[in-house]
Structure 1
């Protein structure tokens, strides 16, 4: 059971990287521009030389979505039972400096950038995230889903909220991140993507009661609506529905329901989810990272396309494996071997 859980944990992290890297060159572009440049994206491609944020990156390169997920995973392991808020903020600040040194500061999401700038200006970390309502928390939350058992759900959502405090301490962001973490968590327990999606909706309802309230569509309701909207539709039609009606921007209430809709269209296939997301336009890398990460948690690394994994750049699969083992060990310590119920 531990080996299977680690395989699924790896599936979540590497699946997320696949979605991130496939969507890297198409992020911020319109569907029409993507079609003009690439036709239909089916494999890793390089960004254009004038891309506003991805220029210079090679095909298959990961972005901030994967980097921050792995960073959060390491802080979770180092923190133990109580999330080390100061360590996380300092790690984000160090990461920001490294991103700037690489010339990629524009890859930071708006809520995280705003919060880091506020912290740099002396605003207490617990106050810096009170306006963060975009998808940065949801894009990096998979490690919480790996580490936390799916039940009790309140404990999982509380851990999500804890990690959101510095950058995304709002009802919408916490609901969105809770949905993704809960879906990943149930996947690690052995459930399929349909059950995982349902658990995500329940977590979104609970997460919406936490953090600073901000206006916006209810995340749980929008996930259910987005999935129903595309259910049974052909892929091309589903993509148009997601783009036109659900939305693919950085707002949590667009991109997170869009990711669950992509999971529905892909029927739980992580690579297919990554491909669909890459062709949506908008925040393609984040939608792809979330959708393929949830799918990967339910499928496991062993069921992901190994040839595409070998083409990823900017990620050390051995290091990811070591992190997955540590997160699963922390999860097992909370439940005891054999005690977890995936029902």
Structure 2
């Protein structure tokens, strides 16, 4: 639910520059309708979730349905059916480039387990929370293996898997009681462990980038932190920019989930995904009770009762995984 807040708040500002956001909306600290000429979000109502949350729920459904064994073929079928629905709704432009490319390859006959070998962007990290809920933070190797399994069809590269592993480990550690700072350290450890998992791609080291981005904004004001993230870390869909940016946003907001969403929405670039990732991590550390109830009630496009059911199912998988390891 933290991720949904970050996603929906960033929906009208995504793909715009920080300066364009100021001109169009001022400082965004509430759900707003996108501008009528927005390149991808025009026509969506304030508070509407996007593909970030939809894919997260889609992965949660697959994990809960499949149980302890991840059914790769069934996951691909879910993705293909979802893509068809997204096109029918006229929201195809919201899809990320790696997911689009992989789905096109699969439809053209490429085996699903090979389709993600060029996926380097942040789509895996944005939807990874269900794996984090279903898998204990330790042992890290088991968590990373599950992350990589769910990345195979769309984001099977070293940079994407390391980024998704960092987010998953941070969220899983937070569920086990770590505060947002300790959870981030667990995420960095996972990124180090996962740096050679998947198809190699030329990209900066995710763990080093996360640590540097967190240190960069530590002690800065929100305004200065936003400038540092925009000018130095980067806010594009590239995993090596948006995922370190999300970790930095959590530092800038001192772990407050709603403030995380606000800061992310005003960055420019891939605001909805950075907000979704950052608020997922902050929300996992704070707990649902710390999310602003009035903002949760304003969310559009998801059934909170269904989200609760999926979360409970994922927690049962977590308990089973922990029990199987003694």
Secondary structure at 2:68 match in 1 = coil
Partner of 2:231: 244
Q: Deviations over 1:200-249 (max 9, x none)?
A: 00011112110000001100000000000000000000000000000000
Measured after TM superposition, the shift of residue 336 of structure 1 is 3.5
Measured after TM superposition, the shift of residue 117 of structure 1 is 0.2
Distance (Å, rounded) in 2 between the aligned partners of 1:26 and 1:201 = 28
Measured after TM superposition, the shift of residue 179 of structure 1 is 0.3
TM-score (norm 1): 0.94
Q: Deviations over 1:96-137 (max 9, x none)?
A: 000000001011100000000000000000110000000000
Partner of 1:74: 61
TM-score (norm 2): 0.99
Aligned with residue 174 of structure 1, among 135, 158, 161? 161
Aligned with residue 314 of structure 2, among 327, 332, 338? 327
Structure 2 residue 195 is matched with structure 1 residue 208? yes
Unaligned runs of 5+ in 1: 1-13
Secondary structure at 2:298 match in 1 = coil
Structure 2 residue 171 is matched with structure 1 residue 184? yes
Partner of 2:114: 127
Partner of 1:4: none
Partner of 1:22: 9
Q: Deviations over 1:232-281 (max 9, x none)?
A: 00000000000000000000000000000000101110000000000000
Secondary structure at 2:73 match in 1 = helix
Aligned with residue 106 of structure 1, among 89, 93, 96? 93
Matched ranges for 1:33-182 at <5 A: 33-182=20-169
Distance (Å, rounded) in 2 between the aligned partners of 1:165 and 1:151 = 22
Secondary structure at 1:262 match in 2 = helix
Structure 2 residue 278 is matched with structure 1 residue 291? yes
Structure 2 residue 260 is matched with structure 1 residue 277? no
Question: How many residue pairs are counted as aligned between the two chains?
Answer: 326
Unaligned runs of 5+ in 2: none
Distance (Å, rounded) in 2 between the aligned partners of 1:119 and 1:102 = 21
Root-mean-square deviation (Å) = 1.1
Runs of 4+ in 1 over 4 A off after TM superposition: none
Distance (Å, rounded) in 2 between the aligned partners of 1:218 and 1:209 = 10
Secondary structure at 1:310 match in 2 = helix
Distance (Å, rounded) in 1 between the aligned partners of 2:17 and 2:322 = 45
Secondary structure at 1:111 match in 2 = helix
Distance (Å, rounded) in 2 between the aligned partners of 1:259 and 1:266 = 11
Structure 2 residue 182 is matched with structure 1 residue 195? yes
Partner of 1:311: 298
Partner of 2:19: 32
